[in-house]
């Protein structure tokens, strides 16, 4: 594979591509769901994509030395696919693009989105290693629906129910995302809220918060409770229960993490469809 192609692949992997695309898809889909035209929804998605790329790249740039120390060979910056300086440049360019694209949505939407991305950067720079590791996720995810609604004409903030559900989704996703790396993180002094809870309690907390977010969306839907909403809630509760059961018997299993990600997907779908 040519050098440029290898770097492109490494950049994609270092962006935390799956969550980056998932958050981008949610933002664009939610914008469509609240009445934005295809063009405006596309603008929202592009702004969010730039912000998420900057967050992903900054994470791997800032954590490069820690990841090398614990042998995280799955990280391109550890395996030699890309250098920390290149990730720093990519993160800063993406952040600049995010600012421009965000303010093309209007001053209110731009300000809110830049604040959400700045909060995510604060997590990468400092807060991930503290008991407040959850707070940037709550703030950033909680603000995301309003980025879409403030880009509409007339601009308005998202409902309190949607905002709270999105914030809970962010906290639950944060805890679930850390589960596979608890031991490596703790070895390097990164001790956020999930590490302080321990694997079993962190799994239970993640599931409870995510299922709570689903329930909030379903029960607080503007059109009332629907069959689709109840099906989403049942799916989330089923996945959550199985995750908690497995965690209590096989603490090292990756299933609780995968199940929590499944609950996250159900919650996002519910927020777009019935929220």
**Residues 101-135: tens digit of each pLDDT:** 999 999 999 999 999 999 999 999 999 999 999 99
* Residue 2 confidence class, pLDDT cut points 50, 70, 90: low
Average pLDDT over every residue of 1-18: 83
For 20, other C-beta atoms within 10 Å of its C-beta total 20
Give the model confidence (pLDDT) of 166-216 as tens digits. 999 999 989 988 887 787 777 777 889 998 998 888 888 988 998 999 999
Among 89, 36, 104, residue whose Cα is nearest residue 58: 89
pLDDT at 91: 97
Alpha carbon 205 to its chain's center? 17
In angstroms, the Cα distances linking 161 to 62, 109, 219 are: 34, 19, 10
Indicate yes or no: pTM above 0.85. Answer: yes
pLDDT at 224: 82
Concatenating the DSSP letter of every residue in 203-218 gives: HHHHHHHHHHHHHHHH
HSE, CB side, 13 Å, CA atoms: give it for residue 25: 9
* Residue 155 confidence class, pLDDT cut points 50, 70, 90: very high
C-beta separation of 151 from 110 below 8 A: no
Among 253, 152, 156, 170, residue whose Cα is nearest residue 212: 170
Most confident of 72-81, 139-148, 188-197, 205-214: 139-148
pLDDT at 116: 98
Among 199, 270, 188, residue whose Cα is nearest residue 233: 270
Domains and CATH numbers, the chain: 1-157 (1.10.357.140), 159-275 (1.20.120.1780)
CA angle 100, 105, 106 (to 5 degrees): 95
> Please, what is the angle between helix 135-150 and helix 17-33, to 10°?
40
Among 144, 127, 104, residue whose Cα is nearest residue 24: 144
pLDDT at 35: 92
């Amino acid at each position: 594979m040519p050098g440029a192609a290898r770097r492109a692949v490494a950049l994609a992997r270092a962006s935390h591509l799956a969550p980056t695309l998932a958050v981008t898809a949610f933002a664009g889909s939610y914008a469509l769901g609240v009445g934005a035209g295809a063009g405006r929804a596309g603008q929202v998605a592009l702004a969010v994509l730039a912000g998420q790329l900057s967050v992903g790249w900054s994470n791997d740039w800032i954590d490069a030395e820690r990841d090398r120390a614990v042998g995280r060979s799955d990280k391109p910056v550890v395996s030699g696919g890309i250098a920390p300086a290149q990730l720093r440049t990519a993160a800063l360019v993406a952040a600049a693009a995010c600012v421009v694209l965000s303010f093309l949505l209007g001053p209110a939407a731009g300000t809110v989105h830049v604040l959400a991305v700045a909060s995510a950067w604060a997590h990468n720079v400092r807060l991930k290693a503290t008991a407040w590791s959850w707070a940037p996720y709550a703030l950033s995810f909680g603000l995301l629906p309003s980025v879409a609604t403030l880009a509409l004409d007339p601009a308005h903030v998202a409902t309190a129910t949607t905002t709270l559900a999105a914030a809970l989704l962010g906290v639950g996703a944060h805890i679930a995302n850390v589960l596979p790396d608890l031991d490596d993180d703790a070895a390097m002094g990164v001790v956020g809220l999930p590490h302080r809870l321990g694997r079993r309690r962190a799994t239970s907390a993640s599931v409870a918060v995510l299922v709570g977010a689903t329930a909030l969306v379903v029960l607080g839907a503007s059109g009332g409770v629907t069959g689709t909403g109840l099906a989403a809630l049942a799916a989330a509760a089923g996945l959550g229960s199985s995750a908690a059961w497995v965690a209590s018997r096989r603490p090292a299993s990756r299933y609780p993490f995968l199940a929590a990600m499944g609950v996250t997907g159900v919650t996002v779908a519910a927020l777009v469809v019935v929220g």
